[in-house]
Structure 1
Amino acid sequence: MINIREATVVSEKDQPQSNSRRNFLKNSGIAIGGAVIGGAAISSVFLGRKTQQAQPAAPKPVEYNQALMFFNQEQYQITEAAAERIFPKDELGPGAKELGVAFYIDHQLASPWGINARDYMMGPFVKGEPTQGNQSQMRRADLFLLGLQGLKDYSQKKYNKDFQNLAENEQNDVLKVFEKGEEFTLNGATTKSFFSLLRSYTIEGVYSDPMYGGNKDMMGWKMRNYPGNQMSYTDLIEKDEFIKMEPMSLRDHMSH
């Protein structure tokens, strides 16, 4: 860059007027132009740094698992409230709500599992023994929606409130009624079969791999010191002491 102080201005005494003026414009133009360009470049550097420093913190990655695929908002809220009573937050760690269990249940019901795609569903349908599980012709998704409607209806009948708006002790009482399966009936199914499905889904959502919607940030595993999906234990398997490992999900392996 040409220093403007070093620019040579030819004296009009030594050169013809037209030539001296031309040289003056030429030299001063280069010098001033260089200074302007240099100043603009320097300004852009410092402004760039200032802008860069003023940049807000990078947004958190979008959690695409936290999107409903099956429930409407009311069904999601009832499920979230019910799951939280089955696996509540306490001094040991987060509950079902914080772990995203309702999203896990939503995704499962939206999947082929929800419509019993791999089950034989042609009948005959007979009442099974308690050890045989649910023998109904009703699909899991339909049973779950029926149960959620039952929670809403029973809560309105007894407390004149929706289930998700009840106090925790009231929610517990409603779920106990459904667990027993005697006081309130569903149209085509028992409350006990619904409660059994709800309980199983809740536990799965707490401890399943986070890729499936629940166990947010692997907090369910961390409460149990469960290592998750490690690639190998060969270097640790013969050690006598308990080894606490940072858990890994299936997503961690996909990113490598």
Structure 2
Amino acid sequence: MTEENNEKSGAENLSRRKFIRNSSYAVGGLAVGGVLGSVIPWGTEDQDQQQQAAKQVKNYNNALMYFSQAEFQTVQAAAERIFPEDDNGPGAKELGVGFYIDHQMAGSYGFNARDYMVPPFFHGEKEQGYQGRLKRREIFRIGLREMQNYSHQKFKKGFTEIAEDEQDKVLSDFADDKVNLSTISASGFFDMLRSMTLEGVYSDPLYGGNKDMDAWKMRNYPGDQMNYTEIIADDNFQEIEPRSLRDHM
């Protein structure tokens, strides 16, 4: 190898080493800016801005799995009248009860997966509950449609468009079987709607309702605690922050 080639090769090696060295500095800078930078309080955002950004994180549990948008709006409005917002705290709508009911209709509960659904079907007594071939998801869809029909018949508007006292009247007429339906029981549908509304209010947020555990907080209910061994022998009343099943992961 000639002297000229040796010099050229040495220059290339120096250039390559310089590039690698500079690249490592750049990577190190990214590490400091990306990892350590997220830990070091640089003062670019105040605490309020950070909290606001955290609140804007999307809740992917708030997604429809069964209802149409129109059906969902009707469910929300009806549930809100059953469990309305008041001075004690939020109502069914803000607590996400509509999503809870939607998810239940899309799952095994809505399909009556654990119920005996083989004919023949007989007309049972009211105390026996529902006796028939329709699945809960089908009953709910029919019930919502009949609520809209009855609302138009009585008040010339859809259920979501009428005043709250008029909505209460529609729900009361269903509860008292004053609405004549050929396919389902009006009171049976209302009982299911009311029961599922309360379930959505007080169930674990994992299932779509009880947003931020606010319903538990209204009743000072501790939620899903693993144990109470630290306070069980204490005679003094203890306030415990509620926990969801998600908090144990």
Question: What is the percent sequence identity of the aligned residues?
Answer: 53
Match of 2:196 among 182, 201, 216: 201
Match of 2:171 among 157, 175, 180: 175
Measured in 1, the distance between the counterparts of 2:123 and 2:229 equals 48
1:207–1:220 CA contact under 8 A, matched in 2 = yes
Q: Do structure 1's residue 152 and structure 2's residue 148 form an aligned pair?
A: yes
Q: Deviations over 1:177-226 (max 9, x none)?
A: 00011x32234111111001100000000000000000000001011111
Give 3-state SS (helix, strand or coil) of 1:112's partner.
coil
Measured in 2, the distance between the counterparts of 1:82 and 1:143 equals 16
Q: Do structure 1's residue 53 and structure 2's residue 49 form an aligned pair?
A: no
Measured in 1, the distance between the counterparts of 2:210 and 2:173 equals 28
User: Which runs of structure 1 show a deviation greater than 6 angstroms over 4 or more consecutive aligned residues?
Assistant: none
Match of residue 206 from structure 2: 211
For 1:42-121, list aligned pairs within 5 A.
Answer: 53=44, 57=50, 58-59=53-54, 60-121=56-117
CA spacing shift, 1:54–1:229, aligned 2, 3 Å: closer
Match of residue 141 from structure 1: 137
The AA in structure 2 aligned to 1:198 is: L
Give 3-state SS (helix, strand or coil) of 2:92's partner.
coil
Q: Which moved more, 1:130-139 or 1:228-237?
A: 130-139
Q: Do structure 1's residue 184 and structure 2's residue 179 form an aligned pair?
A: yes
5+ long unaligned stretches in structure 1 = 1-40
Q: Deviations over 1:11-51 (max 9, x none)?
A: xxxxxxxxxxxxxxxxxxxxxxxxxxxxxx9xxx9xx99x9
Q: Could you tell me how far 1:237 is from its partner in structure 2?
A: 1.6
Which has the higher Rg, Structure 1 or Structure 2? Answer: 1
For 1:6-21, list aligned pairs within 5 A.
Answer: none
Measured in 2, the distance between the counterparts of 1:160 and 1:107 equals 31
What TM-score comes out, normalization by structure 1 length?
Answer: 0.76
The AA in structure 2 aligned to 1:117 is: A
Measured in 1, the distance between the counterparts of 2:62 and 2:182 equals 31
Q: Which moved more, 1:146-155 or 1:235-244?
A: 235-244
Q: Do structure 1's residue 231 and structure 2's residue 226 form an aligned pair?
A: yes
Measured in 1, the distance between the counterparts of 2:78 and 2:105 equals 16
Measured in 2, the distance between the counterparts of 1:113 and 1:83 equals 19
Measured in 2, the distance between the counterparts of 1:185 and 1:241 equals 55
Match of 1:221 among 204, 208, 216: 216
1:147–1:186 CA contact under 8 A, matched in 2 = no
Give 3-state SS (helix, strand or coil) of 1:109's partner.
helix
Q: Deviations over 1:134-192 (max 9, x none)?
A: 122210000000000011000011111110111000000000000011x3223411111
The AA in structure 2 aligned to 1:208 is: S
Measured in 1, the distance between the counterparts of 2:69 and 2:106 equals 15
Match of residue 26 from structure 2: none
For 1:115-130, list aligned pairs within 5 A.
Answer: 115-130=111-126
Q: Deviations over 1:73-95 (max 9, x none)?
A: 10000000000000011111111
Q: Could you tell me how far 1:239 is from its partner in structure 2?
A: 2.2
Q: Do structure 1's residue 242 and structure 2's residue 233 form an aligned pair?
A: no
Q: Deviations over 1:90-143 (max 9, x none)?
A: 111111011000000000000011010111100221222232211222100000
